[in-house]
Amino acid sequence: MMPDPSFDPRLWLSAFAAIGGGYALTPDRKLWLVVDGYDDEALAACLAPLVGEPERQSAIKAAIEQRQLGEAA
């Protein structure tokens, strides 16, 4: 899988947080997304780039791991 240069996982995480989203990455690399008080259209627009795009999902996981390790993502 090649990284998608048009997708920035840091920007996606910021956009997700802006609509009330949060996340957790488990030790076995399962990504949990949670949202509170969101607009249906905003949530759909935010999640659309991830549907059927495993390389983008992996990029988000990697960005979260970097943050957890204190590295610049």
In this predicted model, what pLDDT tens digit does every residue of 25-42 receive, in sequence order?
A: 898 989 999 998 888 999
Closest to 13 (Cα-Cα) out of 2, 27, 1, 24? 24
End-to-end alpha-carbon separation of the chain, Å? 19
pTM of the predicted model over 0.85? no
- What is the per-residue pLDDT for 58? 94
Give the pLDDT of the chain (73 residues) as one tens digit per residue: 555 678 999 999 999 999 999 999 898 989 999 998 888 999 999 999 999 999 999 999 999 999 888 865 5
